Amino acid sequence: MDKKSWLFALGGLLLLTTVGLSILGNYTSNWAMYQQKYFQAQINTLQAQLKTTSHGQARAKLEQQITQWQNRKPQIVNLVLPNGQVERCQTCHMGLEEISTSHPPDTFGCTVCHGGNGLSLDLKTAHADWYGQGHPGRLSVAGLTCGGTGPNGQTCHSGNKVQAQNEVDLVKTSLMSTKAGELSFVRRMLGLDPGTKVPNLALGEPASQYPNPLNGGPRQAALQTNCLSQCHQAGGLLPLLQKGKTEIPSNGCENCHVLSNPDHTYVGQDVTISRTEAGLGMVHQLTTQIPYTQCNQCHNQGLHDPIKMKFTPRVDLQQVVKDRQTGNKTWSARVKDYYLPGELFAKCEVSLDCIDCHTREDVMGDGHMYTSEYAAVHIQCQDCHGTINSLPLSKKVRSTSDLAFEEGIANPNFPALVVGDTIGLTHQGEELPYVRQKGQTRYIVSRITGTKYTIPMVKGSACRQKLTEQGADACHACHQAVSEQAH
């Protein structure tokens, strides 16, 4: 090789080295920066605690922890899963909350739900092809995420022999996903359909995708924009009335199982996640302890006018938001905040939360397409309180494989259950695992607080309930809760 060629080759090598170092610098600096930011956040928290701590031993412990964080150096975090797969997501997402005790990251990892490239430390390539743009609960991808297969080869929430365990499939048929009830109500009101059935509305098809919902009538655009598009399950938009914002994208399963604040912003420990972006849960955690305040972020927000096709927020909405922000959970606050002003409700409906009464199939669907709330709801007053002539139905648990045991996997308030225990049963045969029978006493345990409530029986009481009138309104006529004294 002559001198000229040698110099040219050397120059090319130096150029490649420079470019490579530049790429490597950018490649490593972002994750290192995120870790340093996380370290500093821990230092700030400990220093704040130190300022309010006077005990010598406690101060010494805090000072030691601060020094440890100050001396800590960024390093790549390799998570090795049981199947040998390696993921590095926690290198950047240090401090991210464990998604749930039943989905431990050491077993499941991150990409099984989120997709993307778990080995990459580059933002673009790590998040390339991730599911739902960071929201794997969106129903458009839930079949790959919540309904997929875990690293251990077991199916998750789809593809199981027991239909009730296939929540990903069932929820797509629920009223919350299809909004078929609103579509059928408006069409019937306008004389387009003789009954509640909507012609050609396919099983699991969101009403927002129904072609020509009002046969091209003048209200069709308003119906689609103001009513059918506001679906928190199937790809619609939710109204957000705080901070001047008007709407946020729906995130399917996450809207119920990832608790959010009124602003729908993240407040957890992961420094890579925005604190101002709307549409996020408070922390990166799934839960089955879903309080009524979570349900109320979609329900009881206001009224949909079926004539004007317009949504009107409830007049006291800001007080409802304030009560939630301040943690006001007194009886009087619950009475005011739980339902829209002017609605009637019984004491049990305020003391308990929505999920304490509504069954799995009520909420998640049962595989059938309903076009009215009345037809879709499985629970009736008699299922807990019985009738004038008979006690409510029940069943004895005879095996640990009973579906009732599944309720206790992710909820610490699930009361201890053993083979031989008696649990509640709806008139349609669906289990009520939080309703128990001990001797002559029937009680329910709150899924939110763990509080035990004795259930009064209609039989032998002064109640004159009619078996044919099992809707809530029939009971409200006598059992209306309007004050703290009534409680």
Sheet hosting strand 431-438, strand order edge to edge: 394-396, 422-425, 431-438, 441-445, 452-454
Tell me: do 279 and 413 sit in the same domain. no
Provide the pLDDT for residue 486: 39
Same domain, 174 and 318: yes
Q: Which domain holds residue 464?
A: 381-470
| 198 and 300 housed in the same domain | yes
The one-letter amino acid at 335: V
Same domain? For 311 and 399 the reply is no
- Looking at the domain assignment, is residue 76 inside a domain? no
> What total of structural domains would you count in the chain?
2
Q: Which residues contact 179 (CB under 8 A, 6 or more apart)?
A: 206, 207, 208, 227, 228, 231, 234
**Residue-level pLDDT at 27:** 45
Mean pLDDT of 233-250: 64
- Residue 126 domain-assigned? no
| Residue 184 covered by a domain | yes
Least confidently predicted of 3-17, 255-269, 282-296, 460-474:
3-17
* Domain match, 220 and 313 both: yes
Torsion angle of C-alpha atoms 195, 197, 199, 201, degrees rounded to 10: 160
Considering Cα of 367, then 371, then 373, then 375, what sign does the dihedral take?
negative
pLDDT at 8 over 60: no
Has residue 312 got a pLDDT over 70?
Answer: yes
Strand partners for 443 = 436, 454
pLDDT of 239: 64
Average pLDDT for the chain: 86
Shared-domain flag, residues 275 and 174:
yes
pLDDT at 463: 85
At residue 391, the pLDDT reads 93
Q: Is residue 18 part of a domain?
A: no
How many residues belong to the chain? Answer: 487
Residues 177 and 303 in one domain: yes
- Say if residue 434's pLDDT is above 90: yes
pLDDT tens, position by position, 200-215: 888 878 888 899 999 9
pLDDT tens for each residue of 149-188: 887 788 899 999 988 899 999 998 888 888 888 899 899 9
Is residue 315 located within the same domain as residue 406? Answer: no
Give the model's pLDDT for residue 7: 47
Say if 71 falls within a structural domain. Answer: no
Is 15's pLDDT higher than 90? no
> Would you state the pLDDT for residue 245?
56
Domain boundary among 298, 324, 350: 324
Looking at this protein, which amino acid is placed at residue 242?
A: Q
CA-CA distances (angstroms) from residue 352 to 119, 281, 412, 451? 45, 23, 17, 9
Please tell me which residue, 31 or 477, carries the higher pLDDT value: 31
The span from the CA of 462 to the CA of 90, in Å, is 61
Instruction: Read off the pTM.
Output: 0.87
Strands (E), 155-242: 237-239
Whether 326 shows a pLDDT value over 80: the answer reads: yes
Q: Are residues 181 and 316 in the same domain?
A: yes
| Tokens coding 181 | 């009830």
Same domain, 263 and 176: yes
Amino acid at site 23: I
Looking at the fold, whether 390 and 462 belong to one and the same domain comes out as yes
In a domain, 78, yes or no: no
pLDDT in tens, 85-108: 999 999 999 999 999 988 999 999
Residue 383 corresponds to which tokens in the numbers above? 């299922």
8 A C-beta contact, residue 272 and residue 92: yes
Phi, then psi, of 310 in degrees rounded to 5: -135, 140
Residue at 100 is within a domain: no
Q: Residue 483 has what pLDDT?
A: 39
pLDDT digits (tens, 9 = 90+) for 134-147: 999 998 899 999 99
Q: Beta-strand (E) ranges in 63-120? A: 79-80, 86-87
pLDDT of residue 308: 83
* Residue 287 in tokens: 């839960």
Q: Are residues 183 and 268 in the same domain?
A: yes
Q: Residue 439 domain-assigned?
A: yes
